[in-house]
Amino acid sequence: MEFTAEMIAGFLGGTIEGDPAAAVAEFAKIEEGHEGTLSFLANPKYEHHVYTTRSSIVIVGRDFVASGPVSATLIRVDDAYAAFASLLRLYRENQPRPVGVSSRAAVSEEAVVGSDCYVGDFAVVESGVVLGDGVAVYPQSYVGRGVRIGAGSTIHAGVKIYEGCVIGQRVVIHAGTVVGADGFGFAPGADGVFEKIPQIGNVVIEDDVEVGANTCIDRATMGSTVLRRGVKLDNLIQVGHNVEIGENTVVAAQAGMAGSSKVGRGCMLGGQVGLAGHLTLGDGVKMGAQSGVDHDVPAGGTLLGSPGLPGIRFHRSWAVFRALPELNQRVAALEKVISDQ
């Protein structure tokens, strides 16, 4: 299906420079564009591509000032990246969704399946499950006893959701993720043998959460492990038992949160961040990649390094650390002077 620059500008509230009838049917990166594709320019480091791109239409910011001729039709908007993202969402939402229960799926007669649901080949839906309207469960996924999944949620291929877990509306869980496996709870006995502590809680994932591939979210020992509304988790993340992650917090790949840690609202955790158990991050905390923390962090804090230090202190410490070889040489020289006296 083709869209003209006039149609796109109308949807985005943008202004056109060039041919309003220019038409596109595909998206492309600005450096790889060809006739009939739509691209965008948001990062100044890619500006040189706007003068050579073969894309028919390019979305740019209103403040963009061309330093050379541009053959593409430009659509000027307040925020080029956000505008392009809204078009991608519109495109995705208008893609056909699969509907129907495969004859090769195993769906319990005691499960409730809403309207317009999809259950793919070799998926298993156990007794007591409730799938809301429009839920998609892709092939080879497992939905355990008593699980509830809200309307419009997508469970991608190979996801395992253990019994009793609760998934909200419009949640997306990507391939290979495990929700509700036992938390890591063992207690040493008098003979040194570790005895398993039964994990009888569940996992609650609220509305509009997205969970990346091969992430593990453990069930609570008692109560619930909770991901609040709007949380976004990357791939390969470990969320321990009884962890609570606040609304609209984002966590990058390979991060790990030990049991009973609490993460506030609107936090940003970089890749490979590690949280010790039973600590609390306040709202709006930011942690740089590979940071580790073993203590509570007040709201609005920024931590870098391991163990995590406040940003300014980390940079000052790093300046000293980088100079250690030279400092060592100076100390050695001073020791030699002293010993020669």
Q: What pLDDT band is residue 153 in, cutting at 50, 70 and 90?
A: very high
176-190: average pLDDT: 95
Q: Residue 341: its pLDDT value, please? A: 75
Euclidean distance between CA atoms 13 and 38, whole angstroms:
16
Q: What pLDDT band is residue 178 in, cutting at 50, 70 and 90?
A: very high
What's the chain look like in SS3? CCEEHHHHHHHHCCEEECCCCCEECEECCHHHCCCCEEEECCCHHHHHHHHCCCCCEEEEECCCCCCCCCCCEEEEECCHHHHHHHHHHHHHHCCCCCCEECCCCEECCCCEECCCCEECCCCEECCCCEECCCCEECCCCEECCCCEECCCCEECCCCEECCCCEECCCCEECCCCEECCCCCCEEECCCCCEEECCCCCEEEECCCCEECCCCEECCCCCCEEEECCCCEECCCCEECCCCEECCCCEECCCCEECCCCEECCCCEECCCCEECCCCEECCCCEECCCCEECCCECCCCEEECCCCEEHHHHHHHHHHHHCHHHHHHHHHHHHHHHHHC
What is the average pLDDT score of the chain? Answer: 94
Long-range contacts from 308-314, C-beta under 8 angstroms, 24+ separation: none
Euclidean distance between CA atoms 59 and 22, whole angstroms:
13
Show me where the domains of the chain are located: 3-93, 100-313, 317-341
Which two three-digit tokens encode residue 340?
């020669």
Q: Residue 40: its pLDDT value, please? A: 97
52-77: average pLDDT: 97
Q: Residue 92: its pLDDT value, please? A: 86
Which two three-digit tokens encode residue 331?
């100390």
> Catalytic one among 156, 241, 278, 295?
241
Residues 6+ apart with CB under 8 A from 229: 168, 206, 207, 208, 209, 247, 248
236-249: average pLDDT: 98
User: Is 80 exceeded by the pLDDT of residue 12?
Assistant: yes
Architecture of domain 3-93: 3-Layer(aba) Sandwich (3.40)
177-198: average pLDDT: 94
User: Is 90 exceeded by the pLDDT of residue 327?
Assistant: no
* Residue 241 bears catalytic tag: yes
Which two three-digit tokens encode residue 65?
């000032």
Q: Comparing C-alpha atoms, which of 44, 2, 40, 42 is closest to residue 22?
A: 2
User: Is 90 exceeded by the pLDDT of residue 270?
Assistant: yes
User: Is 90 exceeded by the pLDDT of residue 93?
Assistant: no
Q: What pLDDT band is residue 118 in, cutting at 50, 70 and 90?
A: very high
Q: What pLDDT band is residue 332 in, cutting at 50, 70 and 90?
A: confident
Placement of tokens 């998206």 in the chain: 27
Percent of the chain exceeding pLDDT 70 equals 100
Cα–Cα distances in angstroms (integers) from residue 59 to residues 63, 151, 184, in the given order: 12, 34, 49
- Choice among 107-121, 274-288, 309-323 with the minimum mean pLDDT: 309-323
User: Is 90 exceeded by the pLDDT of residue 180?
Assistant: yes
- Choice among 215-219, 268-272, 286-290, 305-309 with the minimum mean pLDDT: 305-309
* CATH no. of 100-313: 2.160.10.10
Euclidean distance between CA atoms 235 and 173, whole angstroms:
10
User: Is 80 exceeded by the pLDDT of residue 210?
Assistant: yes
218-235: average pLDDT: 98
Q: What pLDDT band is residue 286 in, cutting at 50, 70 and 90?
A: very high
Q: What pLDDT band is residue 230 in, cutting at 50, 70 and 90?
A: very high
Cα–Cα distances in angstroms (integers) from residue 308 to residues 101, 133, 265, 276, 340, in the given order: 49, 44, 19, 12, 42
User: Is 90 exceeded by the pLDDT of residue 338?
Assistant: no
pLDDT tens digits for range 123-134: 999 999 999 999
Phi, psi (rounded to 5 degrees) for 194: -80, 125
Percent of the chain exceeding pLDDT 90 equals 84
Q: Comparing C-alpha atoms, which of 126, 113, 127, 160 is closest to residue 141?
A: 160
Q: Residue 322: its pLDDT value, please? A: 78
